[in-house]
């Protein structure tokens, strides 16, 4: 880290995320909603040092501070339209978790699965993540239950879960294709179910008839799906991406 002047600080990345989410679309809007989403943090540069993670496995969960690198170049806005409010009402960006912030910094809590060292490379394995592949990490902190979980906290428009999860079905073609991939991706079916249950479509689509066929990129797969009746998602096919 370096300080250029009184109003600016430059951070060095300490790691990169390896994630099944290869594009913004279909990433859960909050961490922990998709437990089957497994990934890892590869420590880099001076942070790739086993001394940095000494004692970290005492903790079951971690706070990750990261950069919204997928939207960073688009700049920020003082007012945004939270999807939770149907995309129709504007709120100040600081009253939301929008990615379009004055500084593109995000924070996310994830489950720590285990830490491994391959030769001299430190890799932190995590799950329940909601981060785009190759997201830069600027800091990692342990989650402390007695202080980080606050009983009676108020969350305004986001106090309750937003909606009932959608049911997910698989076409005969998709079921046949899954057999080819499930050896490599053990929790693939559960991951697809959990991601689509959150209904990743834009908020304005959710109350209208929607016959569009959507695609989402998980791992190296392009997964095509369609909402049948605003209550059910049908997975149509899974294909390797080029």
Q: Which domains does the chain have, with CATH numbers?
A: 2-156 (2.40.30.70), 163-240 (3.30.2310.20)
Mean pLDDT of the chain: 90
- Average pLDDT on 174-184 reads 92
Q: Which of 109 and 163 is assigned the larger pLDDT?
A: 109
Tell me: pLDDT of 73 over 80: no
The three-state DSSP-derived secondary structure of the chain is CEEEECCEEECCCCEEEECCECCCCCCCCCCCCCCCCEEEEEECHHHCCHHHHCCHHHCCEEEEEEECCCCHHHCCCCEECCHHHCCCCCEEHHHCCCCCCCCCEEEEEEEEEEEEEECCEEEEEEECCCCCCCCEEEEEEECCHHHHCCCCCCCHHHCCCCCCCCEEEECHHHHHHHHHHCCCCCCHHHHHHHHHHCCCCCHHHCCCCCCCCEEEEECCEEEEEEECCCCEEEEEEEEECC
- Average pLDDT on 171-182 reads 94
Share of the chain above pLDDT 70, in %: 96
What's the pLDDT tens digit per position in 6-50? 788 888 999 999 999 999 999 988 888 999 999 999 999 999 999
């Amino acid at each position: 880290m370096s300080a250029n002047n009184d109003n600016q600080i430059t951070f060095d990345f300490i790691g990169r995320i390896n994630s099944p989410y290869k594009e913004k679309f279909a990433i859960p809007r909050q961490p922990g909603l998709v437990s089957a989403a497994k990934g890892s943090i590869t420590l880099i540069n001076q942070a790739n040092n086993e001394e940095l993670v000494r004692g970290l496995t005492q903790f079951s969960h971690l706070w990750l501070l990261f950069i919204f690198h997928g939207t960073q170049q688009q700049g920020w806005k003082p007012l945004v339209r939270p999807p939770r409010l149907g995309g129709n009402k504007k709120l100040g960006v600081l009253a939301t978790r929008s990615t379009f912030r004055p500084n593109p910094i995000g924070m996310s809590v994830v489950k720590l699965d285990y830490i491994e060292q391959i030769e001299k490379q430190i890799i932190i394995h995590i799950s329940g993540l909601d981060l785009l592949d190759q997201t830069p990490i600027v800091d990692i902190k342990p989650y402390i239950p007695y202080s980080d979980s606050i009983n009676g906290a108020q969350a305004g428009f986001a106090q309750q879960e937003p909606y009932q999860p959608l049911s997910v079905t698989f076409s005969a073609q998709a079921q046949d294709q899954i057999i080819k991939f499930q050896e490599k991706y053990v929790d693939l079916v559960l991951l697809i179910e959990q991601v689509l249950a959150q209904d990743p479509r834009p908020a304005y689509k959710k109350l209208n008839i929607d016959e569009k066929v959507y695609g989402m990129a998980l791992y190296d797969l392009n997964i095509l799906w369609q909402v049948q009746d605003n209550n059910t998602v049908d997975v149509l096919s899974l294909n390797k991406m080029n």
